[in-house]
Structure 1
Amino acid sequence: MLSDETNSLAPLDAFQAGVRNVCGQFLVSPPDGARDMRGLITLKQRQALAVAVVRNSAARINRDWRCIRQDSAEHLFLVLQKSGHSVMRQGDADVRLAPGDFIMIDSAYPSRFLYGDSGSLQYSVHLNRSEFAHRFGTAALGGCPIPGSTEIGMALRATIDRLVNSEDAAAAQQHFIGEAFFNLMGAYLCGLEAGTLASARTSDELLVTKARAYIRQRFRDPACTPASVASAMGVSLRALQRRFQAAGLSLSECLIATRLDYVCNRLMAQKSAGTSERISTIAFDAGFNDLSYFNRQFRARFRVPPGEYRLHAATSSAKNPTQ
């Protein structure tokens, strides 16, 4: 059962401020034709984990590059749809969430949340990027869904419910519930990489999910190409391209986007650490082997060259030292 504090929803300005304080910079938009909406966000701190309880009647919540440059982007968010429905987008596909479904959102990259007319209740587990990388590595997971109908999905949902409602539990009990959550996440990620436990619901979706997991693991190798991914999946390049197209995706664009995400993540990390590294070094480390091609792709994606993007990130950090 939800805390009583989520039963009284606040107007748009207060909800926007609450989202900013708890999750970082997001833009909240009321439904079309409406001047206002109502919502409430509260944070449940549970030892090493924090869970935001978000109830709202918003039509749209966006996080664009301008928002990202205004805060530290230090978290991943595992979002659980508790009630209502939503459509979330990060990366190259929309993910429809029904009650019980999950999606992983990376705060370092743009995302979009669309909600239905009936309102929405979500739990958002805040995962510190450094802690997550220490436990599971640095694979890009933004936009990765976990259907609530899977065994892992059901176990995660029960564990998060327990976390939210463990306010009066002893610190040791909260700690072990948190560790149970991380163990389930580890099991999910291992299964995703192996292709034995995926977010897919059909064999074609499973193949696409396995290919995307393979890309996340191998993209830094310049020899990782669409053809090599298809070979690793045991299908022809054309067959894999058709599977991606059927899912509304592009195999080549997924590979390029993963490499560009890695570059962006490194540039954001430099902003936080106050360090500087040659952009060419980062590009080659991301798997690009042609700097001209890299620069064209970066400009097409982010609308600025990489040097200017890093400069804006550093300037934003200097102007917002407490964020």
Structure 2
Amino acid sequence: MTPVVNRDFEQWLTQINQVCGNFAGNPLADDFVGELETSYAKGLKLSTVTTRGATLFRTSQEIKGGDDAWFYTVFQLSGQAMMEQDARQVVIGAGDISLIDASRPCSLYWEQDSRQISLLLPRTLLEQHFPHQKIGCAERLPSNLPMVQLSHSLLQESMNNTAMSESESEAALQAMVCLLRPVLHQRESTPPRRERQFQKVVTLIDDNIREETLRPEWIAGETGMSVRSLYRMFADKGLVVAQYIRNRRLDFCAEAIRHAGEDEKLAGIGFNWGFTDQSHFSTAFKQRFGLTPGEYRRKSR
């Protein structure tokens, strides 16, 4: 059976690739919505993305053929978006900001209505302010922080100022990085003990990803913390424990499908990674990757 192609999505994806760089992607639902508005205010390169029911991702293949000298600085205007990079997964809402490094693989998901502005920040500019440091990506910079609010205001003022000169737009970019710098530094200075505890938890999840007993209560008991503390730890990173576990299982399933033999049953692959119900497995897989397991196998081949 030939998969149905969503022509609206294909047109939107082509626009994304022309303006934002190379991405692959899939519609997540039949009611996909996608619009793209571009703005080049001198040195400010902006894209306003309005969408629902879509996923975009950059693998090494997309990165290899494009320009990676940028960071995507995402200003969420309304709705929600989920982003993944460097084993981090974050959900951002209205007023939040997050960064994505164009030089490394990433994934973006919009299950609900979402509107956001993506500002391209030159890598060289960020590296000037963060020498010899790895810049934290796919982390939520929350809307209640004053510096985040000021960054949103500066972006809107810059977009609406059509008389801005080249030097003024460059100054606006510098000011944007200066505003975000203390927030990003604060994220980098996460207490080591707390971060080690989180890494211990996600390692425990991966080590027991096939087990039916892998639930928040079991994880809390194994790590000596309360269930409430476990939820709070994941919430601080914009994550939900159960959703993280499900997504990790689906990621392992996708990898297994890519390397499976022709005669290996898809239901068996799902079962091996903790999905005991075939219908639930197929539905969850399509929600995450925009394709059923069978469509995913055909596409990967």
Q: TM-score, normalised by structure 1?
A: 0.54
> Quick one: which amino acid aligns to residue 17 of structure 1?
T
- 8 Å CA contact 2:13, 2:25 repeated in 1: yes
- 8 Å CA contact 1:41, 1:55 repeated in 2: yes
In 2, Cα distance between equivalents of 1:92 and 1:160? 29
Match of 1:152 among 147, 153, 163: 147
> Quick one: which amino acid aligns to residue 28 of structure 1?
G
Q: Quote the offset at 1:242 in angstroms.
A: 2.6
Q: Quote the offset at 1:55 in angstroms.
A: 1.1
Question: What secondary structure, in the 3-state scheme, does the structure 2 residue paired with 1:146 have?
Answer: coil
Match of 2:199 among 239, 244, 252: 244
Q: Which residue of 1 aligns with 2:114?
A: 120
**Deviations for 1:50-81, whole angstroms, at most 9, x for unmatched residues?**
22111112321111222112212121111111
- 8 Å CA contact 2:28, 2:54 repeated in 1: yes
Q: Quote the offset at 1:169 in angstroms.
A: 4.0
Q: Quote the offset at 1:25 in angstroms.
A: 0.9
> What pairs up with 1:171-182 in 2 under 5 angstroms?
173-182=168-177
> What pairs up with 1:177-188 in 2 under 5 angstroms?
177-188=172-183
> Quick one: which amino acid aligns to residue 27 of structure 1?
A
Q: Which residue of 2 aligns with 1:28?
A: 25
Q: Which residue of 2 aligns with 1:134?
A: 128
Q: Which residue of 1 aligns with 2:263?
A: none
Q: Quote the offset at 1:47 in angstroms.
A: 3.2
- 8 Å CA contact 1:148, 1:157 repeated in 2: no
> Quick one: which amino acid aligns to residue 137 of structure 2?
G
Q: Quote the offset at 1:20 in angstroms.
A: 0.4
In 2, Cα distance between equivalents of 1:135 and 1:249? 32
Identity %: 19
Q: Which residue of 1 aligns with 2:39?
A: 44
- 8 Å CA contact 1:162, 1:177 repeated in 2: no
Q: Which residue of 2 aligns with 1:66?
A: 61
Q: Which residue of 2 aligns with 1:316?
A: none
Match of 2:77 among 69, 74, 82: 82
In 2, Cα distance between equivalents of 1:110 and 1:96? 17
**Deviations for 1:250-289, whole angstroms, at most 9, x for unmatched residues?**
8xxxxxxxxxxxxxxxxxxxxxxxxxxxxxxxxxxxxxxx
- 8 Å CA contact 1:44, 1:52 repeated in 2: yes
Q: Quote the offset at 1:173 in angstroms.
A: 4.8
- 8 Å CA contact 1:148, 1:154 repeated in 2: yes
**Deviations for 1:108-167, whole angstroms, at most 9, x for unmatched residues?**
1111111123x2111111011123223432532322321111112111111122222223
In 1, Cα distance between equivalents of 2:186 and 2:89? 22
Structure with the bigger RCO (C-alpha within 8 Å, sep 6+) is 2
Deviates more, 1:142-151 or 1:41-50: 41-50
Q: TM-score, normalised by structure 2?
A: 0.58
Q: Which residue of 2 aligns with 1:11?
A: 8
Name structure 1 gaps, 5 residues minimum: 1-9, 196-208, 212-234, 251-323
> Quick one: which amino acid aligns to residue 150 of structure 1?
L
- Are positions 1:53 and 2:48 aligned together? yes
In 2, Cα distance between equivalents of 1:165 and 1:138? 35
Query: RMSD across aligned C-alpha pairs, in angstroms?
Result: 2.8
Q: Quote the offset at 1:107 in angstroms.
A: 0.9
In 2, Cα distance between equivalents of 1:171 and 1:240? 42
- 8 Å CA contact 2:95, 2:149 repeated in 1: yes
Taking a change above 3 Å as real, the CA distance of residues 142 and 166 of structure 1, as seen in their structure-2 partners, is same
**Alignment coverage as a number of residue pairs:** 199
- 8 Å CA contact 1:163, 1:178 repeated in 2: no
Taking a change above 3 Å as real, the CA distance of residues 127 and 177 of structure 1, as seen in their structure-2 partners, is closer
